[in-house]
Amino acid sequence: MSDQTRANRARETAKLLIRRTLQRADLEIGRGSYAGRLVRTLESRGIDTVLDVGANVGQYATLTRSAGFTGRIISCEPLSGAFGELTRRASRDDAWTAFNVAVGAQPGEAMINVAANSFSSSIRGMTDAHLRTAPGSRFVASETVPVTTVAEIAAAHGVDPARTLLKIDTQGFEGEVLQGAGALVGELAAVQLELSFVELYDGQLLFDELVGAMARDGYRIQQLEPGISDPDGRMLQVDGLFVRLADD
């Protein structure tokens, strides 16, 4: 093993340790101000429900709560291990419900690849570009999970799309989740997506494609938050919050 390889692995191990520590404290680097801006957007647009797709252990829901959001949260997480911690957190909050399910284009079942760091798990395969940037995100197992759709969730739980933020954190599966929302896309008050500039998961939609699709459905970008970068500093991904132009 070369000295450079050892250095890269040591750096990645340190990054994972720091991120896990921050997650336990329900914080992420640079997220404090983002959460405040997010909650101000929800308040100004009368949004009282967050549909949290790809919840992992509940980091996003906890973050919005800590920033002052008091409305209903519906979290969906397919991984059995992550769901255990998600359930524990949600059980302390009467307005937070969690479901052990994936969300996609149509109901059924799917195999999800489980990443070593949990939060990089995906139904899609992982690209070499992702692995080079974050070796700790490698897949180590797989699970067969049930799949539902945004449209089914909304119908089952009386979700009013005009008062709802749909947050999607599904590691390259954003297009399928939006497809499963059907006619609700265009009616939802806000949508948050992970937007990748390079292919991190096989066959995923990239930044320009997703931004273009959202614009065609009547949304504009409200804010962008930096995500992951490669070791040379190139930005690979951002989180994008979209709001309906009709509500401006």
Cα-based torsion angle of the residue sequence 234, 171, 128, 140 in order, rounded to the nearest 10 degrees: 130
Q: Residue 180 is part of a domain; what is its CATH number?
A: 3.40.50.150
Counting the structural domains of the chain, the total is 1
Q: How confident is the model at residue 34 (pLDDT cuts 50, 70, 90)?
A: confident
Q: What is the pLDDT of residue 29?
A: 38
pLDDT digits (tens, 9 = 90+) for 191-214: 999 999 999 999 999 999 999 999
Exposed / middle / buried, residue 158 (Cβ in 10 Å: 0-12, 13-18, 19+): exposed
Mean pLDDT (whole number) for 114-138: 94
Angstrom distance (rounded) from CA 64 to CA 193? 16
Cβ partners under 8 Å of residue 4, min gap 6 = none
Q: What is the pLDDT of residue 231?
A: 87
Q: Is the pLDDT reported for residue 8 higher than 60? A: no
Q: Is the pLDDT reported for residue 216 higher than 50? A: yes
Q: What is the pLDDT of residue 211?
A: 98
- Stated length of the chain: 248
20 in any annotated domain: no
Cβ partners under 8 Å of residue 215, min gap 6 = none
Q: Is the pLDDT reported for residue 21 higher than 80? A: no
8 in any annotated domain: no
Q: What is the pLDDT of residue 17?
A: 52
Q: Domain range spanning residue 141?
A: 28-247
223 in any annotated domain: yes
Q: Is the pTM of this model over 0.75?
A: yes
pLDDT digits (tens, 9 = 90+) for 147-159: 999 999 999 999 9
